[in-house]
């Protein structure tokens, strides 16, 4: 398993609709292992293959204290309700922004064994991650879903505020 560098906003691979996986084989499972390592190294709860420069429809989700899992060729088959959330992304480091997501989300995908699975999130971080990561394989970033670009909030690095105030 290898930690691969995260691609950032401005990299065209993030904007390309990713290619469908036609066969779930060992090379795909190795990629999933690298994605998982890269996600944890960057302290994320989800990652999509384009974020490490691979234009394939694969995402990994790793909720806190839960086993990570992969979704291959994920499609949102049901969504309902809306809620306002604050969101960030490994590919847009140092920023967060408010946006509207669904309350309930169901995604259909293949798992690492090539079997069809459905994953359901309801009013939780998982529901948010399912929409966020599925957006990634369609070339969509959360910044596209802000009401206005002015809503993007720059996070101050830890300690900066104290130093500035002391000056
Ligand atoms: Ni992201």
Domains and CATH numbers, the chain: 12-154 (3.90.45.10)
Catalytic residue among 37, 116, 133, 162: 133
Distance 71 CA to ligand 1 centre (A): 15
Ligand 1: distance of its center to the CA of 157 in Å? 20
pLDDT band at 9 (very low <50, low <70, confident <90, very high): very high
Nearby residues of 113 by Cβ (< 8 Å), 6 or more positions away: 24
Nearest alpha carbon to residue 1 among 43, 31, 39 = 31
pTM: 0.93
pLDDT tens across 36-68, in order? 999 999 999 999 999 999 999 999 999 999 999
Which tops the pLDDT comparison, 8 or 167?
8
How many angstroms separate the alpha carbon of residue 164 from the centre of ligand 1? Answer: 30
Is 133 part of the annotated catalytic residue set? yes
Q: Ligand 1 center to residue 43 CA distance, Å? A: 12
Q: With 0-12 CB in 10 A as exposed, 13-18 as middle and 19+ as buried, what is 159?
A: exposed
DSSP 8-state secondary structure symbol assigned to residue 156: P
Distance 128 CA to ligand 1 centre (A): 11
The protein residues having their C-beta less than 5 angstroms from ligand 1 (an ion) are: 89
Is the CA virtual torsion 72, 77, 78, 79 positive or negative? positive
């Amino acid at each position: 398993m290898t930690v691969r560098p995260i691609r950032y906003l401005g990299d065209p691979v993030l904007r390309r609709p990713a290619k469908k996986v036609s066969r779930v084989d060992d090379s795909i499972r190795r990629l999933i292992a690298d994605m998982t390592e890269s996600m944890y190294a960057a302290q994320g709860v989800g990652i999509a293959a384009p974020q490490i420069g691979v234009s394939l429809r694969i995402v990994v989700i790793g909720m806190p204290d839960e086993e990570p899992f992969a979704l291959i060729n994920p499609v949102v088959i049901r969504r309902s309700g809306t809620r306002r959330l604050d969101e960030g992304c490994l590919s847009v480091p140092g920023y967060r922004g408010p946006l509207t997501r669904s309350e309930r989300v169901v995604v259909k995908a293949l798992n690492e064994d090539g079997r069809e699975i459905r994953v359901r999130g309801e009013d939780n971080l998982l529901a948010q991650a399912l929409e966020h990561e599925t957006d990634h394989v369609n070339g969509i970033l959360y910044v596209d879903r802000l009401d206005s670009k002015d809503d993007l909030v720059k996070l101050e690095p830890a300690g900066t505020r104290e130093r500035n105030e002391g000056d």
